[in-house]
């Protein structure tokens, strides 16, 4: 006797996007179509991430040959290939940018240019792949400057402040694959059900706890921090601070952020003031800091730079521009701002 399982009644991402589209009278379905191509790529990358580490799979450098004598490529280059190929032909993008590619990615000849742009980090945290740590894909979608134009998009269409994002999200390849996104009406999370190949709505209204006990920072960089930042970290670890803290740092932005989104806390990546390693911070503004900031704010959190500027107000000047990032629970970021 067949039983309807609870997950059989869950809403799929496709249904969710169509319902959101129906709420907008001017919606043409372009965004829904764009997202369906992104979701397809996420499923393909999930398949390879889940197998990474097996003999004939994608690991390490791209100079090796697998057992069939095929050239292997690094998983992040593979993810870049899958996402950019799937997205470039969706007909609703006018230009793309990827962490893996230096220049703009134009829509191939013969394919329609649409009114959206996307900037993507195809596989963030990929240095952790060999140790089987959770990694992720981060994406940021804007509307082009002239939404009526049918011409190829430009760098200016990509270089927009984060508060103008139409959608920001990430895919986390962890114990399960989750897709977390916001279109400006809060944050929703979908979990991939491998048994039916669908992302199902598992977290309908994600809210970042107002305050948390977790702080995430790479303390190995302590000696490169400014004295003010060193003092802040010392303070939150001291008994003067009125709450117990737990240090949690995975070294994979999506994993660190996702945990803090669920449990509360603060993630910090400041700049190095004593070396030229990361004088402006390590994370990339366009496809790491800005999308994560959008999600954080939509979930009730905050996201600022080491100087206290709102991340979403920064206007990027270059595709791969770096920024500092202090993101997390509202009260924890406010405490940072008051201290600094």
Question: Where on the chain is the footprint of ligand P6P (CB under 6 A)?
Answer: 124-125, 127, 218, 251-253, 256, 282
CB of 204 to ligand P6P, least distance (A): 27
CB of 113 to ligand P6P, least distance (A): 30
CB nearer to ligand P6P: pick between 86 and 254: 254
CB nearer to ligand P6P: pick between 198 and 256: 256
CB nearer to ligand P6P: pick between 124 and 332: 124
CB of 190 to ligand P6P, least distance (A): 21
CB nearer to ligand P6P: pick between 13 and 138: 138
CB nearer to ligand P6P: pick between 13 and 233: 233
CB of 255 to ligand P6P, least distance (A): 8
Give the chain as a 3 state SS string. Answer: CCCCCHHHHCCEHHHHHHHHHHHCCCCCCHHHHHHHHHHHHHHHHHHHHHHECECCCCCCCCCCECCCCCECCCHHHHHHHHHHHHHHCCCCEEEEEECCEEEEEECCCCCCCCCEEEEEEEEECHHHHHHCCCEEEEEEEEECCCCCCCCCCCHHHHCCCHHHCCEEEEEEECCCEEEEEECCCCCEEEEEECCCCEEEEEECCCCCCCCCCEEECCHHHHHHCCHHHHHHHHHHHCCCCCCCCEECCCCCHHHHHHHHHHHCEEEEECCCCCCCCCCCCCEEHHHHHHHHHHHHHHCCCEEECCCCCEHHHCCCCCCCCEECEEEECHHHHHHHHHHC
CB of 128 to ligand P6P, least distance (A): 7
């Amino acid at each position: 006797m067949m039983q309807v399982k609870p997950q059989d009644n869950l809403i799929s991402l496709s249904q969710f996007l169509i319902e959101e589209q129906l709420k907008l009278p001017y919606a043409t379905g372009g965004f829904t179509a764009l997202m369906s191509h992104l979701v397809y790529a996420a499923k393909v990358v999930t398949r390879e991430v889940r197998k990474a580490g097996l003999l004939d799979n994608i690991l390490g450098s791209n100079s090796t040959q697998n057992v069939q004598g095929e050239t292997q490529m690094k998983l992040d280059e593979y993810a870049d290939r899958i996402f950019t190929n799937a997205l470039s032909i969706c007909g609703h993008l006018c230009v793309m940018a990827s962490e893996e590619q230096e220049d703009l990615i134009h829509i191939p000849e013969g394919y329609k240019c649409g009114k959206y742009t996307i900037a993507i980090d195809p596989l963030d945290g990929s240095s952790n792949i060999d140790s089987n740590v959770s990694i992720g894909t981060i994406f940021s979608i804007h509307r082009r400057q002239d939404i009526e134009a049918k011409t190829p998009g430009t760098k200016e269409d990509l270089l927009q402040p984060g508060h103008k994002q139409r959608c920001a999200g990430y895919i986390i390849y962890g114990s399960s694959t989750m897709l977390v996104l916001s279109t400006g009406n809060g944050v929703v999370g979908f979990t991939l059900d491998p048994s039916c190949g669908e992302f199902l709505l598992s977290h309908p209204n994600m809210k970042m706890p107002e305050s948390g006990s977790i702080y995430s920072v790479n303390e190995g960089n302590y000696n490169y921090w400014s004295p003010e930042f060193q003092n802040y970290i010392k303070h939150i670890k001291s008994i003067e601070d009125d709450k117990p803290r737990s240090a949690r740092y995975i070294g994979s932005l999506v994993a660190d952020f996702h945990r803090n989104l669920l449990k509360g806390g603060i993630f910090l990546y400041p700049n190095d003031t004593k070396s030229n390693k990361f004088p402006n911070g390590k994370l990339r503004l366009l496809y790491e800091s800005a999308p994560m900031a959008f999600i954080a704010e939509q979930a009730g959190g905050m996201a600022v730079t080491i100087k206290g500027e709102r991340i979403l107000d920064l206007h990027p000047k270059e595709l791969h521009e770096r920024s500092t990032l202090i993101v997390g629970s509202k009260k924890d970021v406010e405490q940072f701002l008051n201290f600094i």
